[in-house]
């Protein structure tokens, strides 16, 4: 319990340093561009693949669970669409990114800590927390909504391709279904969650990496902890945000 | 000039430094020697403020460093350069970017001016045609030299080196030692070097402080060190067979 509270305290203290006034804007801009590539662009592949197959599975499951002549089949399209937008493309994708991006951030920053690169920055008079972490937070918060949109589109496409080729739904019904009773606010809700989750993944993982003490063994531990803590925090905030935004 | 007064530092209930006082003068290579684990790195990190001291005061040119806030320390830090025990080069940047980093961060020089300065510093440490390499592509000795180049990029007034020649062969060590001594005189810096290498001691030791178990046991220069009657120091200095033989034969 004490460890939890002191960890919580050091997390907020670190955030305070991360959001201190940046020293040199041009350098922060350059770093943010780099992070957009390494955290954002390099995640498009995994998000696309997973979303395609999950969209397919969600569509098949919805179809087999509603095999009842009184349900019109276009409801399969509607059901798949809402599952993908509301839960899959924001929360599940965030959990996957917590695994990929979170461990990456924690081990990168942890290595900088144990090889004294962070000390070297501090010694020069650079605010190391802000210099290292802020570009990652900004890049993820800006880019992850695009990942979510990509995930929604590929997920729905996956459902369409696999659903029609498996013969559980016709193309017309699916397309009618995904447009039927569409609530645009669900997209907003999904994107708001994505932004919050992006912030959680980057800051929680960065905190784990930044406070590593010891050597490469501890760096490995920090990266595991980063994934676990950010995933749990995401699940918690998923409940809170859903209650706040949809009730 | 750097003055340390009665510095103490503990980690938890483990006392690592006890009451160390010392004065380090400009234009000189000051050495801190001691066994592995005696507290040299901790002392150096206290001097530069990477670790908070528990007790005692530090003065940089008569400014009380330990009393300054973050901004005040930052001003003095921009006059410091440090060579870390493991070089601490930024591994996501090339050699050139590493040396240019402090210039990018703290100067308003044009790109060409920065590049000239970078090449001058790299040239000074005898690194040529390696601007585009990454730290992972360098040997240990090259890393140290690039780290020295980065440390002197902003023409610091205070230079700190943590074991500049650990893990290097004797010949490369001597090159690095000479380099440090030369640039110290050139820029009339106050240089403080941690080492447990007796070769560097005999090479560079204008002022030597010997630390044992976190306490300062002895202070002097390289001529005095061989004649001292401090027992622990003698054990340290004459630890190797060659040194013992030399001492015995000279009576
Ligand atoms: N962050 C820390 N937390 C706890 N103990 C520490 C910490 N840093 C150093 N120590 C302890 O302080 C003592 C002195 O360590 P230090 O790194 O200063 O030794 P050193 O003289 O530099 O040795 P070496 O020549 O091997 O580099 C060691 O016993 C070490 O275990
Ligand atoms: Mg050391």
What domain range is A35 assigned to?
24-246
pTM of the model: 0.90
Q: What confidence score (pLDDT) does residue A197 get?
A: 97
Sign of CA dihedral B82, B84, B85, B89: negative
Q: A11-17: which pairs have CB atoms within 8 A and are 24 or more residues apart? A: A11/A203, A11/A204, A11/A207, A14/A129, A14/A133, A14/A203, A14/A206, A14/A207, A14/A210, A14/A211, A15/A203, A17/A127, A17/A129, A17/A130
Q: How close is the nearest chain A Cα to the Cα of B92, in Å?
A: 10
Q: Which residues of A touch B102 (CB under 8 A)?
A: 124
What is the distance of C-alpha B113 from the center of its chain?
28
Q: Is the CB of B164 under 6 A from ligand 1?
A: no
Q: Compute chain A's Rg from CA coordinates.
A: 21
B135 contacts B146 by C-beta, under 8 angstroms: yes
Q: Among the ranges A230-239, B83-92, B138-147, B163-172, which has the highest mean pLDDT value? A: A230-239
> Closest by alpha carbon to A50, among A147, A164, A155, A146?
A155
| Spacing, Cα B63 to ligand 1 middle (Å) | 28
Cα–Cα dist B144/B17, whole Å: 27
Q: What confidence score (pLDDT) does residue B250 get?
A: 66
Query: What single-letter DSSP state applies at residue B166?
Result: T
**Section A38-58 average pLDDT:** 94
In a domain, residue A13? The reply is no
Least confident range from B4-18, B57-71, B227-241: namely B227-241
Q: Does the beta-carbon distance from B45 to A119 stay under 8 Å?
A: yes
Cα–Cα dist B146/B152, whole Å: 10
Least confident range from A4-13, A108-117, A223-232: namely A4-13
Q: Does the beta-carbon distance from B84 to A120 stay under 8 Å?
A: yes
In a domain, residue A210? The reply is yes
Residue A43 corresponds to which tokens in the numbers above? 């995640």
**Section A108-121 average pLDDT:** 95
Residue A129 corresponds to which tokens in the numbers above? 């927390």
In a domain, residue A6? The reply is no
In a domain, residue A65? The reply is yes
Q: What confidence score (pLDDT) does residue A213 get?
A: 92
In a domain, residue A241? The reply is yes
In a domain, residue A1? The reply is no
| Spacing, Cα B147 to ligand 2 middle (Å) | 16
Residue A209 corresponds to which tokens in the numbers above? 């990496």
pLDDT band at B234 (very low <50, low <70, confident <90, very high): confident
In a domain, residue A170? The reply is yes
Q: What confidence score (pLDDT) does residue A223 get?
A: 96
Q: Is the pLDDT reported for residue B244 higher than 80?
A: no
Q: What confidence score (pLDDT) does residue B233 get?
A: 80
Q: Is the CB of B11 under 6 A from ligand 1?
A: yes
pLDDT (tens digit, 9 = 90+) per residue, B101-137? 999 998 899 999 999 999 999 998 889 899 999 999 9
pLDDT (tens digit, 9 = 90+) per residue, B152-182? 999 999 999 999 887 778 888 888 888 899 8
Q: Is the pLDDT reported for residue A244 higher than 60?
A: yes
Q: Compute chain B's Rg from CA coordinates.
A: 19
Cα-Cα-Cα-Cα dihedral of B46, B50, B55, B61, to 10°?
A: 70
The closest residue, in CA terms, to atom 4 on ligand 1 is B11
Cα–Cα dist B85/B111, whole Å: 30
| Spacing, Cα B104 to ligand 1 middle (Å) | 33
Q: What confidence score (pLDDT) does residue B36 get?
A: 87
Q: How many domains does chain A have?
A: 1
Give the bridge partners for B191, in sequence order.
B29, B159
pLDDT (tens digit, 9 = 90+) per residue, A142-201? 999 999 999 999 999 999 999 999 988 899 999 999 998 889 999 999 999 999 999 999
A10 contacts A207 by C-beta, under 8 angstroms: yes
Q: Is the pLDDT reported for residue B198 higher than 90?
A: no
Q: What confidence score (pLDDT) does residue B251 get?
A: 53
In a domain, residue A8? The reply is no
Q: Is the pLDDT reported for residue B247 higher than 90?
A: no
Q: Does the beta-carbon distance from A123 to B89 stay under 8 Å?
A: no
Place of tokens 């059901």: A79
B201 contacts B208 by C-beta, under 8 angstroms: yes
Question: DSSP alpha helices (H): ranges in chain B?
Answer: 40-48, 70-77, 95-106, 111-124, 140-152, 170-186, 198-204, 222-225, 231-237, 241-249
Cα–Cα dist A178/A190, whole Å: 17
Cα–Cα dist A201/A206, whole Å: 8
Chosen from B47, B69, B84, B158 to mutate, greatest number of chain A CBs within 10 A = B84
The closest residue, in CA terms, to atom 30 on ligand 1 is B37
Q: What confidence score (pLDDT) does residue A104 get?
A: 96
Percent of chain B past pLDDT 90, that is, above it, reads 47
**Section A55-84 average pLDDT:** 88
Ligand nearest the Cα of residue B83 is: 2
Q: Is the CB of B86 under 6 A from ligand 1?
A: no
Q: Does the beta-carbon distance from B88 to A119 stay under 8 Å?
A: yes
Q: What's the longest Cα–Cα distance across chain A?
A: 72
Q: What confidence score (pLDDT) does residue B229 get?
A: 79
**Section A81-93 average pLDDT:** 93
């Amino acid at each position: 319990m004490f460890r939890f509270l002191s960890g919580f305290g050091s997390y907020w203290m670190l955030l305070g340093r991360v959001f201190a006034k940046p020293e040199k804007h041009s350098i922060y801009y350059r770093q943010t561009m780099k992070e957009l590539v390494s955290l954002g662009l390099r995640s498009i592949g995994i998000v696309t693949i997973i979303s395609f197959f999950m969209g397919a599975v969600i569509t098949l499951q919805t179809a087999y669970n509603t095999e009842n002549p009184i349900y019109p089949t276009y409801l399969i399209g509607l059901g798949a669409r809402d599952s993908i937008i509301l839960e899959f493309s924001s929360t599940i994708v965030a959990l996957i990114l917590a695994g990929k991006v979170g461990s990456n951030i924690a081990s990168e920053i942890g290595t900088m800590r144990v090889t004294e690169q962070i000390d070297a920055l501090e010694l020069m008079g650079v605010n190391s927390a802000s210099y290292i972490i802020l570009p990652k937070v900004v890049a993820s918060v800006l880019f992850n909504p695009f990942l979510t949109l990509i995930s929604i589109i590929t997920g729905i496409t996956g459902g369409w391709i696999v659903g029609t080729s498996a013969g559980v739904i016709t193309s017309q019904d699916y397309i009618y279904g995904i447009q039927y009773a569409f609530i645009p606010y669900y997209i907003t809700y999904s994107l708001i969650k994505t932004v919050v989750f992006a912030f959680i993944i980057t800051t929680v993982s960065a905190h784990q990496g930044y406070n590593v003490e010891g050597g490469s063994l501890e760096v490995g531990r920090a990266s595991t902890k980063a994934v676990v803590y950010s995933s749990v925090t995401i699940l918690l905030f998923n409940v809170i945000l859903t209650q706040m935004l949809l009730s | 000039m750097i003055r340390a007064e009665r510095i103490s530092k503990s980690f938890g209930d483990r006392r690592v430094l006890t009451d160390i006082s010392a004065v380090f003068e400009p234009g000189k290579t000051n050495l801190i020697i001691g066994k592995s684990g005696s507290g040299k790195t901790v002392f150096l990190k206290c001097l530069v403020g990477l670790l908070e001291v528990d007790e005692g005061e530090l003065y940089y040119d008569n400014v009380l460093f330990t009393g300054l806030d973050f901004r005040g320390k930052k001003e003095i830090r921009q006059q410091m350069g440090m060579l870390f025990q493991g070089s601490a080069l930024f591994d996501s940047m090339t050699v050139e970017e590493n040396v240019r980093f402090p210039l990018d961060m703290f100067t308003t020089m044009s790109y060409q001016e920065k590049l000239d300065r970078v090449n001058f510093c790299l040239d000074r440490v005898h690194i040529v045609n390696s601007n585009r390499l990454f730290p992972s592509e360098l040997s240990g000795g090259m890393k140290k030299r690039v780290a020295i180049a980065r440390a002197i990029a902003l023409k610091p007034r205070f230079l700190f080196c943590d074991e500049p020649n650990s893990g290097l062969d004797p010949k490369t060590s001597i090159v690095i030692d000479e380099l440090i001594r030369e640039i110290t005189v050139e820029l009339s810096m106050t240089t403080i070097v941690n080492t447990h290498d007796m070769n560097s001691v005999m090479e560079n030791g204008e002022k030597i402080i010997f630390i044992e178990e976190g306490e300062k046991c002895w202070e002097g220069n390289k001529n005095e060190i061989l004649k001292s009657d401090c027992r622990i120091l003698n054990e340290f200095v004459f630890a190797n067979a060659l040194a013992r033989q030399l001492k015995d034969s000279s009576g």
